[in-house]
């Protein structure tokens, strides 16, 4: 896996933002603790549309889909940990934080593996 251009990094950023926005949209719609806001829904629509357009118009390098999925999951876990830290009545944020750290280490090994193969 080699990241050739900044466009590939922007795909990862879009996947991360989509993960944040999908968990934020779910929280504002279905959680009594989180106040309603339209902005996570707007961010979800724009990020998902942009990610879909990027998928249709550009080919992904080898290894990019798994990294994009990891960044998507990381976005979900980051938002979950932040909301649970802000509203402790929801529950502990220990599990999301542990999963985040494990996922960040996995992503780091994938980046090192990609740079060593260049």
Residues 22-67: tens digit of each pLDDT: 999 999 999 998 899 999 999 999 999 999 999 899 888 888 899 9
pLDDT of residue 11: 92
pLDDT of residue 59: 85
Q: Which helix (H) or strand (E) holds 46?
A: helix 39-57
CB 22 within 8 A of CB 44: yes
Residue 102 has pLDDT above 80, yes or no: yes
- In order of 31, 79, 81, the CA distances from 90 in angstroms are 9, 13, 11
Question: What is the overall mean pLDDT for the chain?
Answer: 90
**pTM over cut 0.85:** yes
Query: Closest Cα to residue 79, out of 40, 39, 30, 108?
Result: 40
Pair of tokens at residue 19: 């993960």
Pair of tokens at residue 116: 């060593």
pLDDT of residue 71: 97
pLDDT of residue 95: 94
């Amino acid at each position: 896996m080699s990241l050739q251009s900044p466009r590939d990094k922007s795909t990862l950023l879009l996947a991360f933002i989509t993960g944040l926005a999908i968990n934020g949209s779910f929280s504002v719609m279905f959680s009594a603790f989180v106040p309603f806001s339209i902005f996570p829904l707007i961010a979800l629509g724009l990020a998902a549309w942009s990610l879909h357009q990027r998928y249709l118009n550009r080919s992904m390098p080898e290894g990019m889909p798994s990294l994009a999925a990891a960044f998507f999951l990381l976005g979900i876990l980051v938002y979950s940990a932040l909301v649970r830290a802000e509203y402790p009545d929801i529950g502990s944020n220990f599990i999301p934080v542990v999963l985040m750290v494990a996922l960040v280490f996995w992503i780091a090994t994938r980046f090192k593996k990609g740079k060593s193969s260049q």
